[in-house]
Amino acid sequence: MVLAVGSPFQIVRTTGIYVDGGSAEVTSIGEMLAALIRRPTGFPVAVSPIGTQSAGSIILRLAPDRAALGDEGYELKVTSDSVSLVANRPAGLFRGIQTIRQLLPPDIESEMGLERYDWSIPALSIADKPRFAYRGAMLDVSRHFFTVREVEQYLDVLALYKLNVLHLHLSDDQGWRIQIDSRPKLTAMGSLTQVGGGPGGFYTKQDYQDILRYAQARYILIVPEIDMPSHINAALIGYPELACSARPPALYTGTDVGWSSLCVDKEETYDFVDDVIRELSAMTPGPYFHIGGDEVKTLTPEQYVKFIERVQTIVNKYGKKMIGWEEITKAHLNPTTIAHQWKSDSATAAVAYGSKLILSPAPKVYLDMKYTPATELGQHWAAYVEVRDSYDWDPATYMKGVTERDIFGVEAPIWSETLRNITAVEYLAIPRLPAVAEVAWTPQAVRNWESFRTRIVTHQQRWNYLGINFYRSPQLPW
Ligand code: TNX
């Protein structure tokens, strides 16, 4: 809800930020806002505890009595005298800062140091909170490897659009991308290439910690995925005794799917799965572990079900909730397990187990789909997906038998078969990722395409300042 009233708030040389003194977390959120304002203005922007402020201040405050705002909601009140941001939890303050950022002129993203510029925020009153708890993006770092810095660049985009999950697809046939101490040959032998050849790569435990820390500072959860029992060739190169694949394990740089598999009838397979889930769970603070489970073409249905049910037990044993692509609904799921819809042929079965769903309908939110036949990057097996396709759909009515209550959230995956670096990823992600972010955040009744298309083009100048690549969709009024 937005109410606009009165004359704007002006940020000037003496503007200060005042924060709840008791909370180090709120102080560091205040520092993030200060840093954002210092860069383009050259103003000092001190961050101080509440109590000493005069008129002309920006105030960030936690208010435990605002429980209705949930974990990420916030209230923002801007008058000519002050900016007041209130949230129930720190994450809400962080999301609210993104709104302040978007209310300031696009030059706020510049480094120009303009002191006499009109740095004004319109007077208004906003009460805002997300529709869905889980609002994600997925990056496939297996088909092509992305450096820590590239992952951080993508996290910056997620933060700007109030997304709260980055799902990392850490392994596939082409590359194993995460250090596992008890199974050193995973990275020593399985990380050495990627689609089309080239050196590949992997994240050391320190790299993974760096990604986690960068994400945490932006209130973004990392969900790690180890895809199994198929999409597993890279792991089998070092551990061929676990292979039940027609093709012998060897470095693979192509893009076929479904042909590799763990031998699900061997006990050693479960020792391996236990090692990987134990170590990666210990490294990951978030509550979720994604086990993939998609596109298995070489096992019987009985073998597949038995494997998924055993893996579910292992994931739960290490204190995590399991997520798997929708094929896992063929197994008996715990109510805490989450099914990740992508093609809608088996997702609804999750509801019968009391499981919730993450929706990633490929014809809407697969960001690796081409925009049009003229798009050089990407694939088109699901559809051509223009910006409007990503925006104009309602998760609650997308699938028969799935209602709002069954939906944990929405995620936009980007598979990287054709994408060699983060610039290519950005070209396919923007403006579709902001469109999906609005689907996931804003209630259906107050969303509309005409409004989105005129608002999103004003971000062009911000993307330019931030060095973010994007697609100039002809559907938008640039
Ligand atoms: C299907 S979506 C896959 C991926 C591919 C993607 C390409 C899913 C669960 N599996 O292995 O990368 O299509 O669009």
Q: Give tens-digit pLDDT for 234-256.
A: 999 999 999 998 888 999 999 99
Sequence-separated (6 or more) residues with CB below 8 Å from residue 209:
283
Q: Which fold has domain 2-128?
A: Chitobiase; domain 2 (3.30.379)
Query: For this structure, is 295 an active site residue?
Result: yes
Dist CA 443 CA 450 (whole Å) = 16
Please, which pLDDT band fits residue 64 given cuts at 50, 70 and 90? Answer: confident
Give residue limits of the domains in the chain: 2-128, 134-446
Q: Which of 169, 415, 428 to mutate to test the pocket of ligand 1 (most atoms within 8 A of CB)?
A: 415
- Quick check: 37 pLDDT over 90? yes
Beta carbon of 342 within 6 Å of any ligand 1 atom? yes
In the prediction, which pLDDT does 55 show? 79
Phi, psi at residue 339, to the nearest 5°? -95, 135
Tell me, in angstroms, the distance from the centre of ligand 1 to residue 415's CA: 7
What atom of ligand 1 comes closest to residue 368's alpha carbon?
14
Q: Nearest to residue 408, comparing CAs of 214, 130, 218? A: 130
- Quick check: 4 pLDDT over 80? no
Dist CA 161 CA 221 (whole Å) = 14
From first CA to last CA, the distance across the chain in angstroms is: 27
User: For the domain 134-446, what is the CATH code?
Assistant: 3.20.20.80
- Quick check: 21 pLDDT over 80? no
In the prediction, which pLDDT does 19 show? 96
Give, for 84, the enclosing helix (H) or strand (E): strand 82-87
Beta carbon of 82 within 6 Å of any ligand 1 atom? no
In the prediction, which pLDDT does 54 show? 79
Please, which pLDDT band fits residue 222 given cuts at 50, 70 and 90? Answer: very high
In the prediction, which pLDDT does 420 show? 98
Residues in the chain: 478
Beta carbon of 227 within 6 Å of any ligand 1 atom? no
Dist CA 361 CA 365 (whole Å) = 6
Beta carbon of 415 within 6 Å of any ligand 1 atom? yes
Q: What is the reported pTM?
A: 0.98
Dist CA 224 CA 222 (whole Å) = 6
DSSP secondary structure of 314-374? HHHHTT-EEEEEGGGGGSPPPTT-EEEESSSSSTTHHHHTT-EEEE--HHHH-TTB-SSTT
* Residues above pLDDT 90, as percent of the chain: 95
Q: Which of 295, 359, 379 to mutate to test the pocket of ligand 1 (most atoms within 8 A of CB)?
A: 295
The protein residue whose alpha carbon is closest to atom 5 in ligand 1 is 415
Q: How are beta strands 338-341 and 356-359 bridged, if at all?
A: parallel
Domain 2-128 and domain 134-446, same fold? Reply is no
Mean pLDDT of 187-196: 98
In the prediction, which pLDDT does 3 show? 67
Out of 295, 309, 327, 404, the active site residue is: 295
Give, for 224, the enclosing helix (H) or strand (E): strand 221-228
